[in-house]
Amino acid sequence: MRRHLSDIGEFALIESIAKSVKTGPSVIKGIGDDCAVLEYKKNKHLLFTTDMIIEGVHFDCKKSSPLSIGRKALAVNISDIAACGGIPRWAVVSAGIPKHITSSYAHDMYKGITSLAQRFGIDLVGGDTNCSKKLVLSIALLGEVLKDELVLRQGACQGDSLVITGPLYEKPDHLGFTPKLKESRFIVKELMPTAMIDISDGLLSDLEHILKKSRKGAFVYESLIPVGGKKTSVKKIINTGEQFELLFTMPKSMLRSIPKSFYVIGEISGDRPSITFVSRLGERKKISPGGYTHF
C-alpha cells in the first residue's frame, strides 16, 4: 500500500531523511537541530540554517504587506541561529515570484529583508529568482557561535528548570515578531543553558523535541504558563505555533540570574521523553503535543 506523507507526518519524514544521510567529519551536528553545526575556526563553529515561507501556508498576500513578508522570511532564520546561541552573519535569498507581482511589490519585499538584515548585522550575499505560481521566499543563513556558547536541543539534565523568554499568545505576531537574539546572548553569557529551541511549532511540540534529543521527561505547570493578551485557554496556547520565544533548560542554581521578563514553566524529570502537565488543581496528566505540522 502506498503511504502518503500525511500518514507519517513531517517529523517522521525528516527522521527518515536523516537516517539515509551520511555526513563527513566536518559536520558536528547535521539534520535534527535548529541549525547545522559545522567545523570552522579554533574557537568557533559555523551555524547553517534555512527556512522557507509560502503564500497560503505562512502568510496571506491579501492581509500582509510585502515588507512584512520579506521581514518574516529572514526573522524565522535569525530565530534558529538564536536558538543555537549564535550570531547571524550571511544570508542568501531564493524567491519564487508569481507573474502578477509588480516590481514595486518585489522591492518592498526586499526592503523588509534588508532592513532586518541591517538591524541584525547580516550581509545579504546572493540568492536565486524564479517565476512560480505562489509567492515563495526561502532564505539560507550562516552564523557563528563560540564553541562554549553552542546550545543544542540535546543536553537537558535531570532537575533543570524549563524556561521561556516571554508570554505565549493565542494569536502571536507571526509576521512582525523580533527574533530573540538579545535574549539568546544573555542566556548563553549568564545562565549556563543546557538545551534550547525556538517555539515555531508550539510549546509542547518544541519541548518534545528537546526531550527526545535529551532523552528526558518534563513537568509543565499550568499555573506558571504566561498568557499574553486577553485571557485565553492555556491548553490552546501551548499548542499554538509561531510564537518564536526561546524555550530552554538551565540549572536551578542559576535561577537567581534570570530576568523578570523570563518565565520558569516547569522542570526536567525522568528519563522518558514524556510531558506531565500539572493543572492548577494539582492534577497530573501525561499530554502529547498537538502543535502545527505540515502534511
> Which stretches of the chain bind ligand ADP, using CB under 6 A?
14, 17, 31-34, 51, 80, 200
Nearer to Mg ion, 76 or 97 (CB): 76
Minimum Å gap between C-beta 51 and Mg ion is 8
Nearer to ligand ADP, 213 or 216 (CB): 213
Minimum Å gap between C-beta 153 and ligand ADP is 9
What is the C-alpha separation between 263 and 177, in angstroms, rounded?
19
DSSP H or E stretch at residue 57:
none
Question: Other C-beta atoms within 10 Å of 24: how many?
Answer: 7
Minimum Å gap between C-beta 185 and ligand ADP is 19
What is the C-alpha separation between 161 and 18, in angstroms, rounded?
30
Chosen from Mg ion, ligand ADP, none, partner binding at 125 (C-beta under 5 to 8 Å by type): none
Nearer to ligand ADP, 31 or 92 (CB): 31
Rule CB under 5 A: which residues touch Mg ion? Answer: 34, 80, 198, 200
Nearer to ligand ADP, 80 or 208 (CB): 80
Chosen from ligand ADP, Mg ion, none, partner binding at 267 (C-beta under 5 to 8 Å by type): none
Nearer to ligand ADP, 80 or 267 (CB): 80
Chosen from Mg ion, ligand ADP, none, partner binding at 33 (C-beta under 5 to 8 Å by type): ligand ADP
3-class SS shares of the chain: helix, strand, coil, % to 5: 30, 30, 40
100 to each of 72, 109, 133, 139, 276, how far by Cα in Å?
21, 15, 10, 22, 50
Minimum Å gap between C-beta 292 and ligand ADP is 10
Residue type, 176: G
Using the structure block, give the residue that is written with the C-alpha cell 540554517.
49
Chosen from ligand ADP, Mg ion, none, partner binding at 32 (C-beta under 5 to 8 Å by type): ligand ADP
What is the C-alpha separation between 150 and 260, in angstroms, rounded?
24
Minimum Å gap between C-beta 34 and Mg ion is 4
